[in-house]
A and B are shown apart, each in its own frame.
Chain A
Amino acid sequence: MKSLKVLACAACLVGTVSGVGFAKDVQTIAGSMVVPNNVTVVSASKTNTRDFVEKQLNEEPTKSSMANMMVKEFFQNFGTTFDVYQLQGADKTGQKDAYVVAVDVKQIAQRVAKDKTNDPMFVAAMAALDKGQIDPVTEQLVLGAVNKKIPTTTTVVPLNDPKRYANLKTRSGELLIKPRTITVENAEQVHPVAGTKYQTYAASSRLLYADGDGQTPLYANAAFVLKPGKPVLYVGVTTDVQRDYFKTIFDNAFKSIK
């Protein structure tokens, strides 16, 4: 019995040590995020290109003061209100990479809303985002409404109406504007994530974009992290063949934000 306890303790210890040894913290706009040690994360806001472009624009501003203000604001928010990360890894099937876009939803909503900021619905939504909490009743209402729109089976969603452009043809008689569709496969419903520091909702799906006969198979995994005062939407995107590698990494990374 004693030896069993020792074995169990040893197993726990090994598990903890390896858990610690195989993960690292990466800073993102909502806080730190955990990724495996063998995954490299690069951030667009910390590149040499960002510094170079910012320096060039400061040294040689454009003639329009409005454009200069927008550029200044863009760089002030780049890395705090929004950012783009690339996750780089590898396994036996090859090298892997995925992009993650992070956006401070409150900041963006306030900029986009402008004259609608007094709307009671907007005020209520902003209050909830400030608090970083959605009450259970609103949560059920919102999740019910959103999930009703997420297909539970493989569904082809048309993105344009090719009949409208049926007369536009190339010299060889092909349609100039081809039917564009997105096929939603294995879509995961939006669900609350357990065990997080901030209230978090996540969803994922395989997305097969088709333009005529050409295809772009993608996989997207998104999480809405309700950090009080700074709610951030993370959207991870990679190719469909890298889905198995990145699904667990995305799930764990979004869950770990603190």
Chain B
Amino acid sequence: MRALNKKMMTLACATCLTIGMGVVACADTVDLGYGLYGSTSPTVKAVEVMRVPTDAKLRNNEQSQIISVANKAAVDAVNASLKLQAPAQIEPMKGDVLDGFSVYQLQGTDKQGHHVGQLVVVDYSKNAIDQVIGMNKTILEKVPDAKKTAIKSSISKYVDSYSKEKAQQQLQGLKSNTIEGAKLAKDLKTINDKLPAQIMGAFDKMLATDKNLSPKSKEEFRSYVDFMAKQVSLDATHVAYKPVQTRYGTAVTGDLRGSLKYDGFRNTYSLIGYAVPTDKGVALQLLLSDDSSHDYWANELNHMYQTQSLKGGK
């Protein structure tokens, strides 16, 4: 009988341990890049959709190809945009813009229901940030004095090159800001008034480079896009950013809650972002979800980053 009791006790202990371990093991790890890893709450599952590690030695062939294609596309896009919009002639971007990226679907459940959110991590290289600072400096030097007043803020006014320490110092002095209500409505009106023209401007430039379409087809295509551009608008209920202290050091976090509208129909969303400076670059993390899941994911990210408010400067 004593032997049986002992066996039963062992079995009970093993069961408790297994269940206990099972609960602990539920927390998942997400790669935030540059050697930063985040742990989800035990009740939140992270499903990897795509990942390209920032450490080149950890990449397989497929991941190396993906980052190479992404970097080429990013450099081409930046240079094309500079050609069209830069107010002065500047050196084109060279080298890698992205050191890595990853996409996860986060899944969690509470009394409200099943929550899902897309966590997108983009790791911007020091090389790219330094070039952007250099470009800003060149623009400030080259533009006529009359146009200089129009350039309200240029990153090159504050730093001459990127480093984690300089970035964190700048963030500690950053004043938090929240825009809601009438002020936000006014800003949105300004954006929405210009939106159709901006969409058409970009589309016309794209159309101009297309040599396969006939002039008639181009005109027809243009009339469709022109109509659709007039039906699109952006709406927001809350825009905010603030400097914070996280387990990864000083960072900046921001919220954008709103909707993208088309012809009366809308798609509501919540976007929560964190930008974390590291020695090798900036890790930018964006969590996109249903607007109704905003508070759930804001709490989850606070847990993951161990976020604490910073008073902010200026």
Contact = CB atoms under 8 A, between A and B. Distances in A.
Contact of A217 (B114, B265, B291, B294): B114
B257 to A, nearest CB: 7
Interface in B287-311: 290-296
Interface residues of B toward A: which range? 20 to 34
Contacts, number: 90
A214 B291 contact: no
A50 to B, nearest CB: 9
Interface stretch (A14-22, A109-117, A237-245): A237-245
B113 A217 contact: yes
A94 B268 contact: yes
B227 interface: yes
A206 B113 contact: yes
Interface stretch (A41-49, A123-131, A161-169, A193-201): A41-49
Contacts of B107: 215
A244 B293 CA distance: 13
Contact of A172 (B60, B112, B113, B224): B60
B295 A97 contact: no
A242 B292 contact: yes
Contact of A49 (B231, B293, B296): B231
B263 A215 contact: no
A210 to B, nearest CB: 10
B265 A86 contact: yes
10 contacts: A47-B265, A86-B266, A94-B292, A95-B268, A95-B291, A97-B259, A172-B60, A215-B47, A215-B105, A241-B114
Given A47-B265, A244-B113, 17 more contacts: A56-B224, A86-B266, A93-B112, A94-B257, A95-B268, A95-B291, A96-B291, A97-B259, A206-B113, A206-B114, A214-B47, A215-B105, A215-B116, A217-B114, A240-B114, A242-B113, A242-B290
